Amino acid sequence: MNFARFKRPTHTIRHMLAACLLIGLAGCSSTKLAHDPVLCSQLDDILNRHADTGAMITARVVDLESGTELFASNENTAVMPASNMKLVISSAGLDLLGADYGFNTYLARDNDDIWIIGTGDPAVGDNALAKRRGDTTMTVFDDWVNALKQKGINHIVGDLVYYESAFDAYKFHETWDHDDLVHWYAAPVSGLNFNDNCVDITIEPTNDGQPVSFTVTPPYDDLVVVNECVTGKDEKPTINRMPHANVIVIGGGCDKKKTLKSKPVTDPGEFFAGAFRRHLANNGISVDGEVRSSPTPLEIYPCMGNTGGAKPNKELIATHTTTMPEVLWRINKSSQNLFAECMCKLSGQVYDKKQGNDHPGSWAGGERAIRAFLAKNGIDDSKLKVADGSGLSRGNNVTARLISDILIAMHKHKDFEVFRASLAEPGETGTLGSRMKSLNGNVFAKTGYIRGVRALSGYVHTQNDRWLAFSFIYNKIPGSVQPFNKLQNEACELLYNWDPDRQKVESTTEDEV
pLDDT at 26: 36
User: CA 238 to CA 258: how far, in whole Å?
Assistant: 11
| Nearest in space to 396 (alpha carbons), one of 72, 57, 60, 84 | 84
Q: What is the pLDDT of residues 101-134, one digit of tens each?
A: 999 999 999 999 999 999 999 999 999 999 999 9
pLDDT at 502: 65
Q: Name the least confident of 117-131, 297-311, 370-384, 462-476.
A: 297-311
- Evaluate if residue 18 carries a pLDDT over 70: no
Which of the 8 DSSP states describes residue 441?
T
Q: What is the pLDDT of residues 300-326, one digit of tens each?
A: 744 444 444 544 578 999 999 999 999
Once rounded to an integer, what is the mean pLDDT over residues 185-197? 98
Which of the 8 DSSP states describes residue 169?
S
> How many CA atoms, within 13 angstroms, populate the side-chain half-sphere of residue 413?
25
CB atoms within 10 A of CB 475: 20
496 vs 33, higher pLDDT: 496
User: Which domains does the chain show, CATH number per domain?
Assistant: 1-76+444-464+471-513 (no CATH), 102-323 (3.50.80.20)
pLDDT at 299: 78
Once rounded to an integer, what is the mean pLDDT over residues 259-285? 98
In contact, 396 and 385? CB cutoff 8 Å:
yes
What percent of the chain shows pLDDT beyond 70? Answer: 88
pLDDT at 1: 35
pLDDT at 38: 85
Q: What is the pLDDT of residues 22-35, one digit of tens each?
A: 333 333 433 344 44
pLDDT at 429: 87
Q: What is the pLDDT of residues 58-75, one digit of tens each?
A: 999 999 999 999 999 999
Which of the 8 DSSP states describes residue 139?
H
Measured at the alpha carbon of residue 38, what is the angle toward residues 35 and 41, in degrees to the nearest 5?
115
Query: What is the average pLDDT value for the chain, to the nearest integer?
Result: 90
pLDDT at 16: 41
pLDDT at 234: 86
Which pTM does this prediction carry?
0.90
Respond yes or no on whether the N-terminal peptide bond of residue 205 is cis (omega within 30° of 0).
Answer: no
Q: Is 352 helix (H, G, I), strand (E, B) or coil?
A: helix
pLDDT at 503: 57
Which of the 8 DSSP states describes residue 79?
B
User: CA 468 to CA 62: how far, in whole Å?
Assistant: 6
| Nearest in space to 285 (alpha carbons), one of 160, 192, 107 | 160
| Nearest in space to 228 (alpha carbons), one of 249, 243, 244, 248 | 249
Q: Is 82 helix (H, G, I), strand (E, B) or coil?
A: helix
CB atoms within 10 A of CB 98: 12
Predicted confidence band at 500 (pLDDT cuts at 50, 70, 90)?
A: confident
